[in-house]
Amino acid sequence: MSARLTAADPALLEALTFGADGLIPAIAQDATTGEVLMMAWMNRETLAMTLAEGRMVYWSRSRQEVWRKGDTSGDRQLVREAWVDCDADVLLFRVDQEGAGACHTGARSCFFRRLDAPA
């Protein structure tokens, strides 16, 4: 199901800007529906794991540990495409979401609460 991804441009990988905490934001978007599923963080190590394993591996800030998404829940995120923004300080992954969804609440997307009132 998962596969090693080839870096299109190793120089681009090298040029990524990680924050002072060594982390970069990683957005996961459903490759089929376009739904934004979640945003979490990666460090250089878990980004390399993500690209090597073809599935999303985050760095958990709360637990301060490698967070191989889906190892506990079964809801893995298989990477279809990886993109970098203009400043090279945000990552966007288009993924196939396995299982019920991305969110630990059971919701498909972590963005299930609306801040503004629907018109």
> Which positions touch a copy of itself (CB under 8 A)?
5-9, 12-13, 25, 27, 29, 33-36, 38-39, 51, 79, 81-87, 90-92, 103-105, 107, 110-118
For residue 30, CA distances in Å to 4, 21, 49, 80 come to: 19, 27, 20, 9
Q: Is 28 helix (H, G, I), strand (E, B) or coil?
A: strand
Least separation in angstroms between CB 71 and a copy of itself: 19
Q: Please tell me the total number of residues recorded for the chain in this structure.
A: 119
Q: In the complex with a copy of itself, which residue's Cβ is closer, 66 or 103?
A: 103
Q: In the complex with a copy of itself, which residue's Cβ is closer, 35 or 98?
A: 35
- HSE-CB for 118 with a 13 A CA cutoff: 2
Least separation in angstroms between CB 98 and a copy of itself: 18
Q: In the complex with a copy of itself, which residue's Cβ is closer, 65 or 105?
A: 105
Q: In the complex with a copy of itself, which residue's Cβ is closer, 1 or 117?
A: 117
Question: In sequence order, which ranges of 16-76 are alpha helices (DSSP H)?
Answer: 44-53
Q: How far apart are CA 31 and CA 6, in angstroms?
A: 18
Least separation in angstroms between CB 93 and a copy of itself: 9
Least separation in angstroms between CB 85 and a copy of itself: 4
What is the CB neighbour count within 10 angstroms for residue 12?
A: 11
